[in-house]
Amino acid sequence: MHMADALVSPVVGGTMWLAACGLIGHSVRRIEASAKDHLVPLMGVLGAFVFTAQMINFTIPGTGSSGHLGGGLLLAALLGPHAALLVIASVLTVQALFFADGGLLALGCNIVNLGFFPACVAYPWVYRVIARGRYGPMRGSVAALAASVLGLQLGALSVVVQTQASGIAELPFGPFAALMLPIHLAIGVVEGCVTAAVVAFVARARPEVLPAADAGPARSLRPVVAALLIAAVLTGGLLSGWASSHPDGLEWAIARVSGAEEAPAAPGTWHARLSAAQERTAVMPDYAFRQAPRDARTDGSDGASAEPATAKPADSSALPLGTSVAGVVGGAVTLLVISCLGFVFGKRPRAV
Amino acid sequence: MPPVIEVMDASYVYPDGTQALRAVSLCVETGEAVALVGANGAGKSTLLLHMNGTLFATQGEVRVAGVAVSRPTLNHARRTVGMVFQDPDDQLFMPTVEEDVAFGPRHAGLVPDEVERRTHEALARVGMVHLRARPPYRLSAGEKRAVAIATVLAMAPDVLVMDEPSSNLDPRGRRRLIEQLRSFEHARVIATHDLELVVEVCSRVIVLDGGRVVAQGPVRELLNDEARMLAHGLERPHILRHLHPH
Amino acid sequence: MAFRMAVERWLDVARMDGLARQDTPVHRIDARAQAVTTLLFIGVVMSFARDELSALTPFFIYPVAVMSAGRIPAASLLRKLAVAMPFAVAVGLLNPVFDTRPALAVGALNVSSGWLSFLSIVMRCLLTVSAALLLVACTGMPRLCEGLVRLGVPRVFAVQLLFLYRYLFLLADEGRRMTHGIALRSPGARGVRFRVYVSLVGHLLLRAMARAERIYHAMQARGFDGNMRPQFASPMRLADPLFVGGWALFFAVARVWNLAEALGVLLMKGVG
């Protein structure tokens, strides 16, 4: 699920942009250091492939609905995590620019949700550990299923957290999570099946393109993975449980996520720090990290303090901006004038 | 002066075990146009990929202008031999025609003015200057082919190596290609099924079958030998049937 | 069948590509200037309080101006907006459900603050989405990528993004032909069966990888050594900083003062 621009606050969007830039920068350095020149065209063409594959649907047996490939995990299996992250970021960029899927402000969120979690968490920590370079029906399927379910669950949870932290949508944390996580469980299962089947297909036709068996470190990472999985499930469960019983439990939830020491918490930590800094310097709009949003707005703060020092309207005791009659009249007239201008100027060049 | 391309007893086995070339020997002289013909899978494309060091012979040797092709001498081979690939879409990978033609000179480390000059010259040579700002996917098959040739001309090679240059072209595009190929002063190695093109452009023909050179000689003499052509999955070109002996 | 709709998306890319190669005053603005202005615009729009409405309205000047000067047909933009909106709208629609505090009374009609924030979400969505679409429709992917590189985006990233864009047309066409072949032999099916799907996607993938290898060979043949050299540079013109500066000024003014409200006050004074 793509995060949408309109639901992201600049603080959350900006933080995620920073996180995404860091991830991309790191991946680029790793790829340049690896000196695998052939990766550049391969990445581009596989990006185009994912795009194309996403346009093809298959029928999900017994349900009458149809599914398609997401591709994050598949790319990681073919290219490794760093190149895969860049390709996913490119696919998302093209989607944002051409189809308005997500949007530019939310692009950072989407790169983290749909790129970082599958390629940099689920692939190295689950898929590679379980598959170990063997792509047979049993092992390959288990690996792909576990990895894609984990990747998508983390991504979905991240969407919920980002939406909440942005505070633009009113949706409470618990119900939103309860809606998103099961949907993405189903999507994860489908994605896992497709990934496993396609990888098995490639392994039969051109085994040399897949990472060979025992390419990775020999030590067992299974305990780590198990711990990670359990931690993720518990965290998710606890979060949604707590959040639904606490209407304003988000603060606690974010602290919980960012305080946890597991890998997926990295962007959360970033976010928490940034938010805290924002709060201290009082630059952040009051909705971006709702501690007591109801009070904050009704007692006259207009929430327009996103730009330090300059954004104080003359009359700070007025109702929230945009609620006065003058606002309604002025807004309507402005829109009307702009659309008329657009109509007039839009015609002119063609007439010339 | 050594021949521009010299293949000596070259054999090549693909990583999957397929033997593509078996002790191939041939020689291309400066300015000469040589055709490489043979049925599908005869090893034409594999042989071409040896000429600029994309593949290295498992046994035997390939020399370009007297220098054996190996990893340390790759730059020499790639500057001397310009390769026009079968599918122009694989060759035109940059966003615009101009950028694509400039790719080679730029990676040869030329100064921007020289890159610009070479780009313009190469496009002018194939008559495609007017398309310089177009993206490659907005070109017709004939235009793509011409631009692909320009990308190679811009690198000022001594040899042009082409894989199926006339495939997918309409008659007019093919005619233009043939005129262009005839006009080049470079040595040319053309792998093709288009035997009429061979008759018009080349002086010598080399027949490959099963990874071996099974015949070579002057075009008219060899292609007129119907029994031999049929034996190697080819045919006698129509154009020769209608030509009257002098 | 489902695939036909998806092909629409790919045709959309081609259409945008066509729009981007027009020659208008907006298209002549440097890609860097346009990218910076777009990001600025989105940032400012999203920085408003969540139930802001009237102060957002002046911001429509930017997309409308770019659209008219860049000769981008409004219909194609609106069609895309309609496709892009549902997620934001669906989540936003819950705002009126959860937030019922009255915020505004117009005559006898009480509008809750949830409805205000919902409308605000819709308005932001319109603004930011159209700005992003206009950016690529007025620069085009090649120019935009080159601009981004000069703004500091790593070249490896930009180059593979360009490869993606270049081969998207080819691969989508390959996929379309393959799916067409299957559709002809299974009339009335909504999608393809899983087994067929896997073999279809698998073949598409193998072909894509083979193509990548050939492209790599073609790059090597022309001296590619792992580093992409910079492309022909288009110099900055005076119009470019003016474009950024002018819009930045306008965004700042419209961010600080609620222009629409001021206009409303003025109008009502005039009437009263």
Place of tokens 């968490």: A121
Give the nearest partner residue to C170 out of B75, B89, B116, using CB atoms. B89
Helices (H), chain B: 44-51, 74-80, 88-91, 97-107, 112-125, 141-153, 171-183, 195-201, 219-223, 226-231, 238-242
Give the integer Cα–Cα distance in Å for C96 and C71: 37
Cβ within 8 Å of residue A227, ≥6 positions away: none
Q: Which of C124, C141, C167 is opposite residue A45, by nearest beta carbon?
A: C167
* pLDDT reported for residue A227: 59
CATH code at position B136: 3.40.50.300
**Of C219, C223, C231, which has the smallest distance from its Cβ to B93's Cβ?**
C219
Report the residue from C141, C163, C231 with minimal CB separation from B93: C163
Residue whose structure tokens are 């970021």 = A89
Give the Cα separation of B48 and B37 in Å (integer). Answer: 12
pLDDT tens digits along A258-301: 333 333 333 444 444 444 444 443 333 332 333 333 333 333 33
- Please answer yes or no on whether C267 and A52 come within 8 Å at the CB atom: no
Which residues of chain A does C201 touch, with a Cβ-Cβ cutoff of 8 Å? Answer: 53, 56, 69, 194, 198
Residue C235 vs residue B148, higher pLDDT: B148
- For the ranges A18-32, A141-155, B190-204, C116-130, the lowest mean pLDDT is seen at C116-130
Chosen for mutation from A12, A49, A82 (greatest number of chain C CBs closer than 10 Å) is A49
Smallest CA–CA separation between C185 and chain A, in Å? 15
A chain contacts of residue C204, beta-carbon cutoff 8 Å? 49, 52-53
H/E stretch holding A177: helix A173-205
Taking residues C254-265, report their average pLDDT: 85
Q: What is the pLDDT confidence band of residue A345, given thresholds at 50, 70 and 90?
A: low
Identity of residue A94: V
Structure tokens, C267: 């109008």
Other beta carbons within 10 angstroms of residue B68's beta carbon come to: 15
Question: What string of pLDDT tens digits covers the 246 residues of chain B?
Answer: 789 999 999 999 988 888 999 999 999 999 999 999 998 888 999 999 999 888 999 999 999 999 999 988 988 999 899 999 999 999 998 888 999 999 999 988 889 899 999 999 999 999 999 999 888 888 999 999 999 999 999 999 999 999 999 988 999 999 999 999 999 999 999 999 999 999 999 999 999 999 999 999 998 888 888 888 888 888 888 777 766 555
User: Is the model's pLDDT at C264 over the cut of 60?
Assistant: yes
Query: pLDDT tens, A200-245?
Result: 998 888 887 777 554 444 445 555 555 555 655 555 555 544 444 4
The greatest distance separating any two alpha carbons of chain A, rounded to the nearest whole angstrom, comes to: 73
- Alpha carbons A199 and A140: distance in angstroms, whole number: 8
> Residue with structure tokens 């067992």?
A220
- Option in B49, B95, B108 nearest C223 (CB): B108
Q: Kindly report the nearest CA distance between residue C237 and chain A, in angstroms.
A: 23
* Bridge partner list, B212: B209
pLDDT tens string A222-231: 555 555 556 5
The answer to whether A134 and A88 have CB atoms below 8 angstroms apart is no
CA distances, A76 to each of A14, A114, A144, A215, B157 (Å):
26, 12, 11, 15, 40
Give the mean pLDDT of chain C. Answer: 84
Domain count, chain B: 1
Min Cα separation C160/chain B (Å):
11
Helix H or strand E encompassing B68: strand B67-68
Looking at per-residue pLDDT, the higher value among A137 and A82 belongs to: A82
- Identify the pLDDT of residue C190: 60
Interface test with C, best of B101, B113, B137, B189 (most C CBs within 10 A): B137
Radius of gyration of chain B from Cα atoms?
18
Over range C248-270, report the average pLDDT. 87
- Which element (helix H / strand E) includes B37? strand B33-37
CA distance C233 to chain A (A): 22
In B, which residues are within 8 Å of C218 by CB distance?
Answer: 83, 85, 90-91, 93
Residues of B in contact with C208 (CB under 8 A): none
ipTM at complex level: 0.88
Average the pLDDT over each of A337-341, B55-59, C31-35 and give the range with the smallest value: A337-341
**Subunits that touch chain B (at least 3 Cβ pairs < 8 angstroms)?**
C
* B213: phi then psi, degrees, rounded to nearest 5: -80, 115
Give the pLDDT of residue A203: 87
Specify the pLDDT at position B204.
94
Residue C40: pLDDT band by 50, 70, 90 thresholds?
A: very high
| Cβ neighbours of residue A170 closer than 8 Å, sequence gap 6 or more | C94, C95, C97, C98, C99, C114, C117
Pick A327's closest partner by Cβ from C204, C209, C261.
C261
How would you classify residue C246: left for phi > 0, otherwise alpha for psi between -120 and 50, otherwise beta? alpha
The Cα A100–Cα A95 span in angstroms is 6
Top-ranked range on mean pLDDT: pick from A286-295, C203-212, C226-235: C203-212
What is the distance between the alpha carbons of residues A8 and A234, in angstroms, rounded to a whole number? 27
- Angle formed at CA A252 by CA A249 and CA A256, multiple of 5 degrees: 135
Q: Find chain B residues with C-beta within 8 A of C162's C-beta.
A: 94-95
What's the mean pLDDT in C154-177? 89
At C33 the pLDDT is 93
Facing residues of C110 across strands? Answer: C105
Residues from chain C contacting residue B75 (CB–CB below 8 Å): 223
Q: Residue B82 gets which letter from DSSP?
A: E
SS3 B50: helix
Closest residue in chain B to residue C145, using alpha carbons only:
B95
Q: Do C6 and A45 touch (CB under 8 A)?
A: no
Burial class of A333 by CB neighbour count within 10 A (0 to 12, 13 to 18, 19+): middle
pLDDT classification of A304: cutoffs 50, 70, 90: very low
Dig out the tokens for A318 from the structure. Answer: 């007025």
Q: Locate tokens 């000067």: which residue?
A: C69
Position A63 confidence tier, pLDDT thresholds 50, 70, 90:
low
A331 touches chain C (CB under 8 A): yes
Find where tokens 């659309």 sit.
A339
Min mean pLDDT across A27-36, B9-18, B125-134, C188-197 is at C188-197
Longest dimension (CA), chain C: 78
Contacts by B134-139, CB closer than 8 A, 24 or more apart: B134/B96, B134/B97, B135/B95, B135/B96, B135/B97, B135/C17, B135/C142, B135/C166, B136/B88, B136/B89, B136/B92, B136/B93, B136/B94, B136/B96, B136/B97, B136/B100, B136/C166, B137/B89, B137/C166, B137/C169, B137/C170, B139/B92, B139/B97
Of the CA atoms within 13 Å of residue A307, those in its CB half-sphere come to 18
- pLDDT (average), residues A151-172: 86
What is the domain partition of chain C in residue ranges?
22-139+235-264
The number of C-beta contacts closer than 8 angstroms across A and C is 416
Contact criterion met (CB below 8 Å) for C141 and C20: yes
- Interface contact A42, partner C, CB < 8 A: yes
CA distance A97 to A85: 18
* Phi, psi for residue B31 in degrees, rounded to 5: 75, 0
Count of B–C CB contacts within 8 Å?
73
Across the interface, whether the CB atoms of B85 and C218 are under 8 A apart is answered yes
Q: In the predicted model, is pLDDT for residue C243 greater than 80?
A: yes
Residues 6+ apart with CB under 8 A from A277: none
Show which subunits contact C, needing at least 3 CB pairs below 8 angstroms.
A, B
C91/A56 Cβ within 8 A = no
Provide the pLDDT for residue B10: 94
CB spacing of A38 vs C216 below 8 angstroms: yes
Task: Give SS3 for C192.
Answer: strand
Write out chain A residues lying below 8 Å of C109, CB-based. none
Strand pairing report for B67-68 and B159-163: unpaired
Work out the minimum CA distance from B116 to partner chain C, whole angstroms. Answer: 9
Task: Flag whether pLDDT at A319 surpasses 50.
Answer: no
C89 against C243, higher pLDDT: C243
Give pLDDT, residue A338.
77
C87 contact residues in A (CB cutoff 8 A): 1-2, 4
Q: Name chain A contacts of C99, Cβ cutoff 8 Å.
A: 170
User: How far apart are alpha carbons C18 and C25 in whole angstroms?
Assistant: 16
Of A112-126, C42-56, C77-91, which gets the smallest average pLDDT? Answer: C77-91
